[in-house]
Amino acid sequence: MGKKATIGMAPKDRSIHIIDKFIQRSEKKEKYKERQPARRKAKDVPMELWPLKDQIEYWENQSPAQKFDKKYTNYTDWLYKLEDISGQYHTTFIDQILNHKPQLLDLFNNKTHPNDALEILRKQGIVWV
């Protein structure tokens, strides 16, 4: 005897159809759901989703050291900015600072802004032009 004929959708098509209906239902619920205000201080909420008032307050109350840490997360970023400000070619800049790494690390650890660091390096004769 042969196989019995199936009436309706194939099992795979049926499961895809069920999933699609579930997704559509979820999207409709989300669409009409009220937007909740952002929760500040929650660790899982990124700062960009905080209320604007709280974001402004956060940025205004930061110390210069915190702003420096946020902008220059590591020594390399700071050094690239220093090179960019100097306006010199990469190889020229590297040749000038090659033997002065401890001084540069001290400037970075003291959280010296790149513009100020460049002036200091020019006064010391490490970087010219």
> Which two three-digit tokens encode residue 104?
């540069």
Contacts of residue 97, defined as CB under 8 A and 6 or more positions apart, other chains included, come to 104, 121, 126, 127
Largest CA distance in the chain: 98
**Closest C-alpha to 85, from 57, 122, 52, 54:** 122
pTM here is 0.59
Nearest-angstrom CA–CA distance, 63 and 6: 72
Domain ranges of the chain: 37-71, 72-124
Residues listed for the chain = 129
Category of 6 on φ-ψ map: left (φ > 0), alpha (ψ -120 to 50) or beta: beta
pLDDT digits (tens, 9 = 90+) for 62-95: 999 999 998 999 999 999 999 999 999 999 999 9
**Predicted confidence band of residue 116 (pLDDT cuts 50, 70, 90):** very high
State the pLDDT at residue 32.
78
User: What distances in angstroms separate CA 117 from CA 76, 78, 97, 107, 126, one per listed residue?
Assistant: 14, 10, 12, 7, 11
- 61: DSSP letter: T
Given this model, what pLDDT does residue 2 score? 60
Per-residue pLDDT of 48-67, as tens digits, reads 788 888 888 888 999 999 99
Is the separation of the CB atoms in 92 and 125 below 8 Å?
Answer: no
